[in-house]
Amino acid sequence: MLLYNVLTSIEVLVFLIINHMPRYPVSNAYFKHKAKQYDDVDKQYYWKLSDDLLWWNLQKFLKKLPKNFRFLDAGGGTGRWSERILHSYPHATGVICDISSSMLDVAETKMSREVSQKRLALVCQPLEEYVNTSSFDVCFNFHNVLGFVKNPKLTISNLAASAKKGGYVISMVPNLYHLLFFTISQNRSSEAFRVMRTGMGRFTNTMPYIHLFTPESIKKIYKQASLTTIYLSGFPITIYPFFQETQISGNSHGLSELLGDKTIFNRILKVEKSLYAQPDIASRGNNLFIVGVK
């Protein structure tokens, strides 16, 4: 037992040293490989459901903003969400800040074709280094961005500083409890124990380790950034991605049969909408969706 504890301590120490080294080269390499295919997730049934729910949730807050609101798409990559906002809200302007030049190259090509360049700026910079004080009505980060950054607390602090008084900071972050479920269901119990010891994990062996969050831990980070949490929910709540959905393309057979049926898809979407923001199920879901106000 003593030897096990010593080995475990050494393992954790090595793991923490590696993951507190500069993560930008690792993240850059990971997303450079995925950049040109990243938008293919639109073809996966699970992510189509997730995107529909995310857009429904996001619009609740966008509709409360001034007509000419300004947004920060933190870690926005290829601009999937910036593009949707700019098309739906013709007076809105924004900034995408991302560490990956490869992802931003895709965004630039897409935006120059479909959206006026005057409405969107692209910034290639780590989120821990980007602050544009009191400039944005809403700052958001989606799909594991906060998991990939080197310092989640500093990142949220910067987003809070960049938001205007009364502005929103909206995050969609990886749920620690879901990754425990996922790794155990994939027969990777040793990975589950690592998640519990370090608070970091990964869905596949080809991705970097990412920070993971619980409802309480993300609320604490928001509070430390002087943000008042007004909305917190699991996301999605009733349905989880399978292994294939952790890849850029392809649909798992079970989810394909389920969500490929438009009637069932819409029923699940309706159930999901009815469950959001209920605190007793906030810990469920692939991700956590949190909204804070400055």
Q: What are phi and psi of 206, to 5 degrees?
A: -95, -5
Query: Strand 210-211 relative to strand 200-201: parallel, antiparallel, unpaired?
Result: antiparallel
Is the CB of residue 237 less than 8 Å from the CB of residue 284? yes
Residue 163 pLDDT: 98
Residue 19 pLDDT: 45
Which of the four pLDDT bands, split at 50, 70 and 90, describes residue 93? very high
Q: Beta strands of 56-127 (E only): which ranges?
A: 70-74, 93-98, 120-124
Better-scored residue on pLDDT, 29 or 73: 73
pLDDT of 279 above 80: no
Residue 42 pLDDT: 61
Residue 240 pLDDT: 74
Is the CB of residue 103 less than 8 Å from the CB of residue 81? no
The H helix count followed by the E strand count for the chain is 12, 9
Better-scored residue on pLDDT, 181 or 225: 225
Return the SS3 of 241.
coil
Distance CA 235, CA 239 (A): 9
Considering the chain, what percentage of its residues have pLDDT values greater than 90?
A: 48
Distance CA 117, CA 91 (A): 13
Token pair of 289, please?
A: 């969706």
Q: Which residues does 38 contact at the CB level (< 8 Å), separation at least 6?
A: 31, 77, 78, 103, 106, 248
Residue 7 pLDDT: 38
Residue 12 pLDDT: 42
pLDDT of 258 above 60: yes
Distance CA 244, CA 253 (A): 9
The partner residues of 257 in beta bridges, in order of sequence, read none
Residue 69 pLDDT: 98
Distance CA 281, CA 258 (A): 23
- Of the candidates 220, 200, 229, 223, the one whose C-alpha atom is nearest the C-alpha of residue 290 is 229
Is the CB of residue 136 less than 8 Å from the CB of residue 162? yes
> How far is C-alpha 11 from the chain's CA centre?
28
The shares of helix, strand and coil residues in the chain, as percent rounded to the nearest 5, are: 55, 20, 30
Residue 145 pLDDT: 94
Per-residue model confidence as pLDDT tens digits over 107-162: 888 877 656 568 999 999 999 999 999 999 999 999 889 999 999 999 999 999 99
Domain limits, the chain:
24-293
Return the SS3 of 280.
helix
Which of the four pLDDT bands, split at 50, 70 and 90, describes residue 270? very high
Q: Poorest-confidence range of 11-20, 102-111, 187-196? A: 11-20
The CATH architecture of the domain made up of 24-293 is 3-Layer(aba) Sandwich (3.40)
The mean pLDDT of 222-242, rounded to a whole number, is 89
pLDDT of 33 above 60: no
Q: Poorest-confidence range of 20-24, 256-260, 275-279? A: 20-24
Q: Read off the amino acid at residue 44.
A: Q
Per-residue model confidence as pLDDT tens digits over 41-89: 566 788 788 899 999 999 999 999 999 999 999 999 889 999 999 999 9
Q: How many CA atoms lie within 13 A of 228 on its CB side?
A: 6
Q: Using the 8-state DSSP alphabet, how is residue 213 labeled?
A: B
